C-alpha cells in the first residue's frame, strides 16, 4: 500500500487542521468546485449524485405521507416579502436583490428567494377556501440564496439546494403532528441512508426560525466536536395565515385560519456526511447513499483474462442492482486504491490472475480497511451483506462518538471545558434568554436544542441560580 501513502499526503491530516482537511476532501473527492462568485459553488457529478440519492429517499417518504411537489417562483417582490414582520427581520440582512430587468429598473425590486414561506402563503390564500381544501401538503425542491459573509462548501453558502415543505391544516393538533412527523422522517433519513445519529429536539426561542412559533431540529455531531444543525421543522400556528389573510370555511360554516408548518433539509447534509464519517484518507461514504458502492480494480490487468473476468464480475453486480464501477485506467493499483479511498467508495473489489484461478476475489472495506478473500459464488449476497454490515458499523461508530460526547455540566466552567474540547454540554436551564446570551458571550457555544429526552438531572440553572426544569444541549456549532 505504498502508493496509497504517497498519494494521500495531498490532503491535510484531520488532526492537524480539521477545517483544511474538510476543504481538501470536498475538492479532492470531486464533490464540488468553486465558481467565480463567492459562496456559489459548483455541485460536481459525484457530489450531486449524493444529493440525488437523498432526494430520492425523501421524495418516496414524502409521497407515502401524502405530500405533493410543486415549484414556486424564484423571486419575491420586496413588498410581498415585507408582509410578515419577524420573518423579514430575520432574512432581510442577507438577501440578494434584483433591480434591473430587460435593461429597465424594476419598481418593486425582486428578492431572490431565501426561503418561500411568503410565496406559498400568497398561493394558499388563493386556493384555500373550504375545509375540503385542507390539508395542503406541498413540498418544493429548489435552490435558495442567502448572501453570506463567511461561506464554506455545503455548510454555509450564498446558494444552496434544499427541499422546503409548506403545509396547511385544519387543526392545531394536526399541524403539530406534521411538524414532528417530518422531523421523524429526517431522523430516519439519518438512520437508513446517511448512517448518522441525530439528536432531535426543540430550539430555544432565541434560536428558532424567524416567524415560527416553534422550531425543531436534528443536530449532528462532527468529528471535531462541533454540532451541525442538519434539518429543521417549524410550527407556525396561524401567524402567517393572519398576515396573508388565509382562511377557510369550516365544516360548521365558520371562517377560520388554518394552522401552518414548514420544514427543510439541504445540501448541508453532504457536509454532515463528510465530517461525521471522513478520515485521513478522505471521504467515507455510507453504502446506501454512495453513488458508487463497489469499485472493481483489476490486478495485473495487462495479463490475459484479467480485464474480462473483472468486467464479468462488474456486470453481474450491476445486474443485481448494485452501483458498481470498474477502474481500467493505466494507473497502478496502489494509486487506484488511494483514488477511490479518497472518494469514499464503501467496498473495493480486487481481482487478479490468482483470484481468477481460485474463483475468489478480495473485498476491502473503506470504513475499517479490513480485507477478506471471498468466493465468487454467491458474490451478490456476500456484498449485500457486507454493505449492510458497513452501514451498521458506521452508524454505531458515530453513535458511540455522539454518546461519548454528551456531558452533564453544573457550572459555566464545566460547560466551557466541554464545548472547548468538543461535544455537547447538557445543562439544566431556567428558560431565560439572558442566561443563553451569557453562555454565548463567555464560551461561544449556542443552545443546539432542548432534546426530546428531558430527564432532569438537577433543578438549578448554573448561570443565574434560579429554578431550572429544561434540559438543554449547548455546543459550538457550524
Contact residues: a second copy, CB under 8 A: 33, 35-37, 40-45, 48-49, 51-52, 68-75, 77, 80, 92-103, 109-110, 112, 119, 122-123, 126-127, 132, 138, 142-143, 145, 147-149, 158-159, 161, 329
Least distance to a second copy from the beta carbon of 35, Å?
5
Judged by beta carbon, residue 204 or residue 266, the one nearer a second copy is: 266
Helix axes 45-64 and 172-189, enclosed angle (nearest 10): 140
Instruction: For residue 412, give the nearest of 458, 456, 461 by alpha carbon.
Output: 461
Helix axes 306-319 and 379-404, enclosed angle (nearest 10): 70
Show the cell assigned to 57.
429517499
Judged by beta carbon, residue 2 or residue 105, the one nearer a second copy is: 105
Contact indicator for 51, 160 with CB cutoff of 8 Å = no
The C-alpha R_g of the chain, in whole angstroms, comes to: 25
Least distance to a second copy from the beta carbon of 96, Å?
5
Least distance to a second copy from the beta carbon of 215, Å?
23
Judged by beta carbon, residue 49 or residue 316, the one nearer a second copy is: 49
Show the cell assigned to 408.
452533564
Least distance to a second copy from the beta carbon of 352, Å?
24
Round to whole Å and give the CA distance between 100 and 435. Answer: 46
Judged by beta carbon, residue 59 or residue 238, the one nearer a second copy is: 59
Q: Indicate the DSSP class of residue 308.
A: H
Least distance to a second copy from the beta carbon of 325, Å?
12
Least distance to a second copy from the beta carbon of 464, Å?
35
Least distance to a second copy from the beta carbon of 76, Å?
8
Judged by beta carbon, residue 307 or residue 309, the one nearer a second copy is: 307
Round to whole Å and give the CA distance between 215 and 18. Answer: 30
Contact indicator for 44, 31 with CB cutoff of 8 Å = yes
Judged by beta carbon, residue 198 or residue 244, the one nearer a second copy is: 244
Judged by beta carbon, residue 36 or residue 359, the one nearer a second copy is: 36
**Residue 179 CB contacts under 8 Å (≥ 6 apart), including other chains:** 214, 216, 233, 234, 235, 261, 263
Integer angstrom CA distances of residue 457 from 168, 229, 419, 463: 38, 25, 19, 16
Round to whole Å and give the CA distance between 418 and 84. Answer: 39
Least distance to a second copy from the beta carbon of 338, Å?
17
Judged by beta carbon, residue 73 or residue 321, the one nearer a second copy is: 73
b/e map 418-446, b = 16+ CB within 10 Å:
bbeebbbbbbbbbbeeebbeebeeebebb
Judged by beta carbon, residue 110 or residue 439, the one nearer a second copy is: 110
Rounded (10°) CA dihedral 29, 34, 40, 42: -50
Least distance to a second copy from the beta carbon of 41, Å?
7
Amino acid at each position: 500500500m505504498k502508493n496509497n501513502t504517497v498519494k494521500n499526503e495531498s490532503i491535510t491530516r484531520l488532526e492537524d487542521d480539521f477545517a483544511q482537511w474538510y476543504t481538501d476532501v470536498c475538492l479532492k473527492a470531486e464533490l464540488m468546485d468553486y465558481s467565480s462568485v463567492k459562496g456559489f459553488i459548483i455541485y460536481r457529478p459525484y457530489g450531486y449524485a449524493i444529493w440525488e440519492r437523498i432526494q430520492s429517499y425523501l421524495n418516496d417518504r414524502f409521497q407515502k405521507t401524502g405530500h405533493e411537489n410543486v415549484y414556486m417562483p424564484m423571486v419575491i417582490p420586496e413588498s410581498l416579502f415585507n408582509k410578515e414582520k419577524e420573518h423579514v427581520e430575520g432574512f432581510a440582512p442577507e438577501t440578494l436583490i434584483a433591480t434591473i430587468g430587460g435593461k429597465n429598473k424594476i419598481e418593486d425590486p425582486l428578492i431572490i428567494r431565501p426561503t418561500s414561506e411568503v410565496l406559498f402563503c400568497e398561493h394558499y390564500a388563493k386556493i384555500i377556501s373550504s375545509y375540503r381544501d385542507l390539508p395542503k401538503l406541498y413540498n418544493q425542491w429548489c435552490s435558495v440564496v442567502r448572501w453570506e459573509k463567511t461561506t464554506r462548501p455545503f455548510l454555509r453558502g450564498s446558494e444552496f439546494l434544499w427541499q422546503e415543505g409548506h403545509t396547511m391544516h385544519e387543526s392545531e393538533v394536526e399541524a403539530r403532528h406534521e411538524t414532528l412527523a417530518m422531523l421523524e422522517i429526517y431522523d430516519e433519513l439519518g438512520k437508513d441512508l446517511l448512517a448518522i445519529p441525530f439528536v432531535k429536539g426543540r430550539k430555544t426561542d432565541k434560536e428558532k426560525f424567524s416567524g415560527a412559533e416553534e422550531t425543531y431540529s436534528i443536530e449532528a455531531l462532527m468529528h471535531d466536536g462541533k454540532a451541525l444543525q442538519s434539518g429543521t421543522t417549524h410550527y407556525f400556528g396561524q401567524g402567517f395565515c393572519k398576515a396573508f389573510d388565509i382562511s377557510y370555511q369550516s365544516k360548521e360554516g365558520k371562517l377560520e385560519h388554518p394552522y401552518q408548518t414548514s420544514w427543510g433539509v439541504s445540501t448541508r447534509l453532504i457536509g454532515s456526511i463528510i465530517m461525521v464519517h471522513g478520515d485521513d484518507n478522505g471521504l467515507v461514504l455510507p453504502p446506501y447513499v454512495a453513488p458508487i458502492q463497489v469499485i472493481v480494480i483489476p490486478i495485473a490487468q495487462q495479463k490475459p483474462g484479467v480485464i474480462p473476468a473483472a468486467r464479468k464480475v462488474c456486470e453481474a453486480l450491476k445486474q443485481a442492482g448494485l452501483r458498481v464501477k470498474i477502474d481500467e485506467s493505466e494507473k497502478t493499483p496502489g494509486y487506484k486504491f488511494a483514488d477511490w479511498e479518497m472518494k469514499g467508495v464503501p467496498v473495493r473489489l480486487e481481482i487478479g490472475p490468482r483470484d481468477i484461478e481460485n474463483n475468489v476475489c478480495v473485498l476491502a472495506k473503506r470504513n475499517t480497511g479490513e480485507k477478506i478473500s471471498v468466493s465468487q459464488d454467491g458474490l451478490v449476497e456476500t456484498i449485500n451483506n457486507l454493505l449492510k454490515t458497513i452501514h451498521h458499523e458506521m452508524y454505531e461508530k458515530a453513535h458511540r462518538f455522539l454518546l461519548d460526547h454528551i456531558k452533564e455540566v453544573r457550572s459555566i466552567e464545566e460547560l466551557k471545558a466541554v464545548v472547548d474540547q468538543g461535544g455537547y454540554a447538557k445543562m439544566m436551564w431556567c428558560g431565560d434568554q439572558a442566561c443563553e446570551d451569557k453562555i454565548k458571550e463567555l464560551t461561544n457555544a449556542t443552545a443546539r436544542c432542548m432534546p426530546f429526552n428531558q430527564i432532569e438531572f438537577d433543578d438549578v440553572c448554573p448561570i443565574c441560580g434560579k429554578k431550572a426544569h429544561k434540559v438543554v444541549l449547548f455546543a459550538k456549532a457550524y
